[in-house]
Structure 1
Amino acid sequence: MVNKIQVGISACLLGENVRFDGGHKRLAFAVEELSPFVQFCPVCPEMALGLSSPRPALRLVKTEPNDTKLQFSRDPKEDLTVPMRHFATQKIASLLHLSGYIVCAKSPSCGMERVRVYESDSTNSSKNGVGIFTQELMRNMPWLPIEEDGRLCDPALRENFIARIFALHELNQLCETHLTRASLISFHSRYKLLLLSYCQRQYYELGRFVAGIGQWDSLDDFVYEYRHLLMTLMSNQASRQGHTNVLQHVQGYFSHRLTSSQRSELTLLIEHYRQGYQPLLSPITLLKHYLAQYPDVYLSQQRYFDPYPEILRLRYGV
């Protein structure tokens, strides 16, 4: 890869001592495994507001039915909501080139989900909030893949996130270098099998959308909408049945060239994957073996077989 993938990240996850307690939450997966492929853009919204580390803890406070404030836990009179939203708006304007973002879980500034929100007049709380900075990030860049450090410990969520940032990076590179209707259609064609594994209904809807590219006067407007639809589709969790459908589809390309025993072996391996006895890597490895023996132009271009570097070992657990 000529250019590394640009990914935003909460600075504490890179090991920077910027947390309220003066410490960090170093995310080994990011620092040790992703760093060869990713250039991180670290941000600590609270430090950016001029706060120190260590500092008094912040929390989200529900002041009205549809209004949440960012306040100090022990001094609710000092409200940082407006400054935080102002910083977020300014900062996000410089982050539009990103292909993903990793945020710190539970943070009142950066948490993506289930952030604790306190009642203004009691100690009662509920875990249904979103950090103020991340809330603005999601609102201004709805297509951007965002994940929390804790959720990335889940093999399926990790694989999904990495597949999305690699796909968006490739699309962003295309937009920066040689964007034409033909190149965009070619990009979509390369991702067809991968997209089919996520959601069949949205796959066909996106296919119809791409087929209508000639009806758009502005290619930039089309790409803006396509990017959002693509990332929405890929935000679905690919199921075993979805992958099984794709594997069986690919199997059809080789059936007439395989011996009876080879076809039986491949069929059984795909079935064992569907039943959960084998990881996805097993049938894909055998299919790639047959693709090397019996080259096919369409299949050889499909990102489904290599959506990200194999060294990341992401298909062992899905």
Structure 2
Amino acid sequence: MKILPRQTRIPVGISQCAMGDPVRYNGGHKHSKVCTELLARCFEYVPLCPEVAIGLGVPRKPIHLLVDKASADVDAVRVVGVDDPSVDVTDQLRDYADSEVPQLEKIRGYIFMQNSPSCGLRGVRRYLDNGHGIDSEGVGVFARRIQQHFPHLPMEEVGRLNNNELRENFLTRVFAYDAWFRYVEGEGEGEGKEVAEAESEPVAEKRPSRIARIIEFYTAYKYLLMAHNQDATRALGRLLADSKAMPEDELAFAVRGRIMQILSRPASRKDRTNALMHSQGHLKEYLNKEEKAELQQLIEEYRVGHKPLSAVLTMLRHYLPRSPHAFIHSQVLLAAEPAELGLCDFH
């Protein structure tokens, strides 16, 4: 199985204020050019503002997260008015998140506004009923509900996407999550192409079973996963090898979850170098002495930080047609990375 790039933009949820819409409590916005001018090249946004959606209006009185003690669980919070604590919109925000689930089933990532009592993903300030800030351990109630509905969905905060490494990691996760649904679950444009190819084959050889597609997906992502976490990737391989007794849905959920967890750890130069050397190993017998030395030297120059990853990938792709083996041709690691797509440098 070779995972091809999506030909249309990927649907991604986003906090509406990041689009430049004046929906914040003070009548302003938090426009993100990274989101609207850079990532919009590959994302089709689904903008939502839960606070406006539940009728709080613009402008509106500010709200914050209330807890009864510092050790309170992440879900043991209320969203109340700063000036009037009797205004409690906790259940309304959760109910709104529940109501949006059908629409959000199609998204492949979500970009939330940081520090928001409804949309913040991490580090949201929590307060005691006397108005004193107690900690920054909160998660926005709407964002938390979306996490519970879609536990593997790639999520990030608007502000963190200004960092090239974090942006690249988010893009990698969104691409993988989208590819999972296109290839494993047969949703979207990938299904049409696969079915079209299958129609020319004998009936018995048509579309592989879902379990076979799960294994094929892991195989295609293996070296990219190794670039993020070698030990976890090997553990996932063992899970698949011993999965015959697992129900199909349980296996799919577990594998998808582990893949997204592995990819959430940014790839290190050391682990990427290891994955590149594995890729080189599949090509060595098809290269002459000078070509092998040149490729090995380029990988070493990447390892020490003297050459970009794109230089190594370009050379590996140059030699790729020489190998007849499907495994190395399927590797997502060798496909265009976010940086090569022009999605990581923004000024």
TM-score by length of 2: 0.83
2-structure distance, mates of 1:316, 1:47: 33
Report whether the alignment pairs 1:299 with 2:299.
no
Of the structure 1 ranges 238-247 and 32-41, higher mean CA displacement relative to structure 2 is found in 32-41
Q: For 1:40, what is the secondary structure of its paired residue?
A: strand
Q: Shift of the alpha carbon at 1:303?
A: 0.8
Q: Which of residues 294, 305, 320 is equivalent to 1:276?
A: 305
Are the structure 2 counterparts of residues 121 and 136 from structure 1 closer, same or farther at C-alpha, using a change threshold of 3 Å? same
Aligned to 1:199: 229
Q: Which of residues 1, 8, 22 is equivalent to 2:13?
A: 8
Aligned to 2:296: 267
Task: Output the amino acid matched with 1:4.
Answer: R
Report whether the alignment pairs 1:55 with 2:60.
yes
Aligned to 2:51: 46
Superposed counterparts of 1:10-49, under 5 Å: 10-49=15-54
Aligned to 2:262: 233
Q: Which of residues 77, 84, 96 is equivalent to 1:87?
A: 96
Identity over the aligned pairs, expressed in percent? 35
Report whether the alignment pairs 1:187 with 2:217.
yes
Of the structure 1 ranges 294-303 and 6-15, higher mean CA displacement relative to structure 2 is found in 294-303
- Runs (5+) with no aligned partner, structure 2: 1-5, 192-206
Aligned to 2:196: none
For these two proteins, the number of residue pairs brought into alignment is 316
Of the structure 1 ranges 101-110 and 2-11, higher mean CA displacement relative to structure 2 is found in 2-11
Task: Output the amino acid matched with 1:199.
Answer: N
Q: Shift of the alpha carbon at 1:204?
A: 1.1
Report whether the alignment pairs 1:172 with 2:181.
yes
Superposed counterparts of 1:120-199, under 5 Å: 120-174=129-183, 175=185, 176=187, 177=191, 180-199=210-229
Aligned-residue Cα RMSD (Å) equals 2.3
TM-score by length of 1: 0.90
Are the structure 2 counterparts of residues 91 and 208 from structure 1 closer, same or farther at C-alpha, using a change threshold of 3 Å? same
Q: For 2:283, what is the secondary structure of its paired residue?
A: helix
Task: Output the amino acid matched with 2:132.
Answer: T
2-structure distance, mates of 1:278, 1:117: 45
Are the structure 2 counterparts of residues 311 and 257 from structure 1 closer, same or farther at C-alpha, using a change threshold of 3 Å? closer
- Runs (5+) with no aligned partner, structure 1: none
1-structure distance, mates of 2:52, 2:267: 37
C-alpha deviations, 1:38-75, integer Å up to 9, x for none?
Answer: 22211111011101112122211223442322122222
2-structure distance, mates of 1:109, 1:122: 18
2-structure distance, mates of 1:316, 1:15: 21
2-structure distance, mates of 1:311, 1:269: 17
2-structure distance, mates of 1:229, 1:47: 35
Are the structure 2 counterparts of residues 315 and 271 from structure 1 closer, same or farther at C-alpha, using a change threshold of 3 Å? farther
C-alpha deviations, 1:274-297, integer Å up to 9, x for none?
Answer: 222332222222222222455653
2-structure distance, mates of 1:78, 1:269: 62
